[in-house]
Amino acid sequence: MPNFITDKDGIKRYLITIKVNGDEYTRLVKANTLLVNFLRDELDLTGTKRGCELGDCGSCTVLLEGKPINSCLMLAVEADGREITTIEGVAPTAELDIVQEKFIEYGGLQCGYCTPGMIMSAKALLARNPKPTEYEVREAIAGNLCRCTGYVNIVKAIMAASGQEVQ
Ligand code: FES
Ligand code: FES
C-alpha cells in the first residue's frame, strides 16, 4: 500500500501517483475511492462514464497499461504507479481519433453514454489486432452494453477504423 496520513477525522488518506494520458497526478485518496471516481471527481476527466458500478455495463472502460479494464472495479490506490488512458487521451488535440471519426460516420451512437467505453475497447483491440474479424470486434465489445443503438453500426464503425468495410 502507498504511504498514508490520517486526517483530522481519523480517516486514512493514501498518497498515490498515477500517470493518466501521459501526465502524472499525485493526490491523497481514501482507501475505498474507485478509480472511476478518482478520474471523474479528482481529475475532472468526465469522459469516462459511471454506469452500473458493478462491472456489467462497460461504460467506465479505460486502458490500464493498454488493456481495457472496468474502472469501477478498481480502487484508485491499486492504480498507484500505473499508467491509465482515458477517452480524453485518445484524441488529445483538436483532431478526432480514427475510431471516433468512424463512429460518427457510421452512426455508431445515439445517447453516447456507452461510447467512450466502446471506443476504449476498440482502441485496445486494434492496438493488438489491427485487422480483426467481425467476430473479434463483437467479442472485444461484448462487455460494453449499449441500450439504444444496437451493435450493427458500432461494429461497422470499428471495422471501418481498421480499414475494412462490412456490408
Ligand atoms: S460502471 Fe463500470 S462496468 Fe458499469
Ligand atoms: S449510445 Fe450506447 S447506450 Fe446509448
Q: 160: which residues sit within 8 A by CB, 6+ positions away?
A: 102, 105, 106
Measured from the Cα of 149, ligand 2's closest atom is 1
Q: Are residues 114 and 54 in the same domain?
A: no
* Number of Cβ atoms within 10 Å of the Cβ of 131: 10
Asked if the structure places residue 62 within a domain, the reply is yes
pTM of the model: 0.95
Distance 112 CA to ligand 2 centre (A): 5
* Buried/exposed code over 38-73 (b: 16+ C-beta within 10 A; e: otherwise): bbbebbebebbbbbebeeebbbbbbbbeeebbbbbe
Asked if the structure places residue 109 within a domain, the reply is yes
Q: Is 113 in the pocket of ligand 1 (CB under 6 A)?
A: no
Q: Are residues 54 and 25 in the same domain?
A: yes
* Measured distance CA(104)–CA(146) in Å, rounded: 16
Is the separation of the CB atoms in 110 and 149 below 8 Å? yes
- Examine the pLDDT at 61 and tell me if it is beyond 80: yes
140: its cell numbers: 472485444
Q: Is 70 in the pocket of ligand 1 (CB under 6 A)?
A: yes
pLDDT in tens, 84-143: 999 999 998 889 999 999 999 999 988 889 999 999 999 999 999 999 999 999 999 999
Distance 116 CA to ligand 2 centre (A): 10
5-13 contacts, C-beta under 8 A, 24 or more apart = none
* CATH code (residue 15): 3.10.20.30
Q: Whole domain around residue 72: which residue ranges?
A: 4-89
* Closest ligand relative to 108 C-alpha: 2
Q: Are residues 53 and 12 in the same domain?
A: yes
pLDDT in tens, 129-152: 999 999 999 999 999 999 888 899
